[in-house]
A and B are shown apart, each in its own frame.
Chain A
Amino acid sequence: MDRAATAERIGALIAPFNKKGVAITDASTFSGDLEFDSLTVMDFVAAIEDEFDIIISMNQQAEIETYGQLVDAVVKLQG
């Protein structure tokens, strides 16, 4: 799946977690702009893992700070 298609599916998944309705760009950070706490991160990651049938380990999550980095990582993890 190409980046645009992946981004579109992630965009649909993030909506219920984006409680403040922040306008998301590739530069948006999860802890800063989106104010995700650790529980939200867990539920959001689980939703993405299930959608794409991938694993995003804690080690990989530690490298992902922005929305753009997440999309890139999911593209890569799908192989």
Chain B
Amino acid sequence: MTDTTAKGDLFDKFQPIIDLRAGLLASGVEDPFGLVMEKVLSPTTAICNGRETILLGTYNYMGMTFDPDVIDAGKQALDDFGAGTTGSRVLNGTYAGHKAVEEALCEFYAMDHAMVFSTGYQANLGIISTIAGKGDYIVLDIDSHASIWDGCKMGDAEVVPFKHNDIEAMEKRLKRIPEGAGKLVILEGVYSMMGDIAPLKEMIAVAKAHGAMVLVDEAHSMGFIGPNGRGVAEDQGVLDDVDFVIGTFSKSVGTVGGFCVSNHPKFEIMRLVCRPYVFTASLPPSVVATAATSIRKLMHAGNKRAHLWENSRTLHAGLKERGFQLGTDSPQSAIISVIMPDLERGAAMWEALLKEGLYVNLARPPATPANMTLLRCSLCAEHSAEQVQTIIGMFERAGKATGII
């Protein structure tokens, strides 16, 4: 048995979070980070901890997980190509399906090159750590996703953050970078904690004026923002000025995997020099088959997109009207973030909602900006208008029961 009081226990550094968690659970709430979905009934409903629950905390924005064509493509690929590739993309792990999904991405974004990674996290980790090296400068938004920060840490570039969405703060830092140094500006289309979007048009113009290359993570916008669902950069008319778009299959596409699309003429060399691409097994054939089918269907999903936006507007207005404090003044994405006064009351509200039959994401520091506790609601194009009204009713009852409103 391990003596946990021994000196030099490497786990000592986790004690504050162990205590925080123990304190939260001692108050009697269900563990917000221990939820199990016993059965998934549809993109919007599941049996969670024994209760039928409306799902309002998934990233299944376009509801593609149970699309019959997507499922069929996956089953067919399992039959034809087996359960897994057991190999790296650059050795024995590139099957016809991997090429097909990269072609689908090139068509979806109307770009020349697409590179598929095993997860979205690895796409950011790989591209950022590989293109920004020693002596280069990365200028990035302080509220960037963990995978972006980890990519910065893994590379050897100088990392210079600026205040969230602050164009002037970004420009000041770009101006101070030594002459001749390589510059990469990293932005996100939608910031997933608050659900707000970036002023990409202005920011990318500033980045380009200072000779920087631009990488935009569009994980939370693919499929429903922009005329063709290509994201916030497309919506603001600046996609042509983005050097690298990072995206994921684990949100609107409805499976798992990550990617980078680019028009850079030398982009293909990344397949040989990007370690998180080379030194890991490629995605299973069934996953790339479901992704390719889903991406092609998302090209023609105008009606679903319109309904998702209706849902977002309805929920935002409904919660605001009932007195909840929201992360954005207007609905900017499919994420509506409800600001909680503190972690204790946030957890109580989260539990009250779960008992009402509603699952949302409880987000807390350090994942959140400004040490906030948030209840993050992410909508799906498959939520019916009635479900959205039901959700608003659940929020009202739970909010009153816990004293949030």
Q: Is the CB of A39 within 8 A of B370?
A: yes
Please state if B173 and A55 are interface contacts (CB–CB under 8 Å). yes
The answer to whether A42 touches B161, judged by C-beta atoms less than 8 angstroms apart, is yes
Contact of B160 among A37, A39, A50, A55 (CB under 8 A): A55
Q: A55-B160, A58-B159 are in contact. Are A46 and B169 (CB under 8 A)?
A: yes
Judge whether A49 and B371 touch: CB under 8 Å: no
Q: Which residue of chain A has the shortest Cβ distance to B163 in the bound complex? A: A46
Quick one: CB contact mask for A39-55 with B, threshold 8 Å, 1 for yes? 10010001001100111
A38 close to B (CB within 8 Å) = yes
Query: In the bound complex, what is the Cα–Cα distance between A42 and B173 (angstroms)?
Result: 13
Complex: chain A residue closest to B173, CB-CB:
A55
Interfacial chain B residues near A59, Cβ < 8 Å: 158-159
- What chain B residues lie within 8 Å of A49 (beta carbons)? 172-173, 176
* CB pair B158 A50 closer than 8 Å: no
Count residues on chain A whose CB falls below 8 Å from chain B CBs: 14
Does B142 sit within 8 A of A, measured CB to CB?
yes
B366 sits at the interface (CB 8 A): yes
Q: Is A25 an interface residue (CB 8 A)?
A: no
Residues of A within 8 A of B158 (CB): 55, 57-60
B152, B173, B366: residue with the most chain A Cβ atoms closer than 10 Å:
B173
Q: Assuming the A-B contacts A37-B371, A39-B371, are A57 and B172 also in contact, with contact meaning beta carbons closer than 8 angstroms in the complex?
A: no
Chain B, interface size category, equals 10 to 19
For chain B, residues 132 to 189, give those with C-beta under 8 angstroms from any C-beta of chain A: 137, 142, 152, 158-163, 169, 172-173, 176-177
CA distance A57 to B177 in the complex (A): 10
Q: Which of A53, A59, A60 has the most CB of B within 10 A?
A: A59
- Name the residue among B159, B163, B169, B177 with the largest chain A CB count within 10 angstroms: B159
Chain A, residue nearest B149 (CB): A58
Indicate if the CB atoms of B176 and A42 lie closer than 8 Å. Answer: no
**How many Å lie between the Cα of A78 and that of B176 in the bound state?**
11
| Shortest beta-carbon distance from A45 to chain B in Å | 9
Chain A residues near B176: list those with CB within 8 A.
49, 53-55
Once bound together, how far apart are the Cα atoms of A56 and B42, in whole Å?
Answer: 49
Is the beta-carbon distance between A38 and B366 smaller than 8 angstroms? Answer: yes
Q: What is the CB-to-nearest-CB distance from A62 to chain B, in angstroms, rounded to a whole number?
A: 10
Task: Give Cα A60 to B137, complex, Å.
Answer: 13
A39 / chain B contacts, CB cutoff of 8 Å: 370-371
Digit string of A50-79 for contact with B (CB within 8 Å is 1, else 0)?
Answer: 100111011110000000000000000000
Give bound CA distance, A50 to B172, whole Å: 8
B142 touches A42 (CB 8 A): yes
Q: How far does the Cβ of A79 sit from chain B's closest Cβ, in whole Å?
A: 11
Considering the chains assembled together, what is the distance between the CA atoms of A59 and B168 in angstroms? 22
Q: Which residues of B contact A53 (CB under 8 A)?
A: 176
* Closest 6 A/B residue pairs (Cβ): A57-B158, A58-B159, A55-B176, A57-B160, A55-B160, A57-B159
Can you list 10 A-B contacts (CB < 8 A)?
A: A37-B371, A38-B366, A42-B142, A42-B161, A49-B176, A55-B160, A57-B158, A57-B160, A58-B160, A60-B158
Q: A42-B163, A55-B177 are in contact. List 17 more A-B contacts (CB 8 A).
A: A37-B371, A39-B371, A42-B161, A46-B162, A46-B163, A46-B169, A49-B172, A55-B137, A55-B160, A57-B137, A57-B158, A57-B160, A58-B152, A58-B159, A58-B161, A59-B159, A60-B158
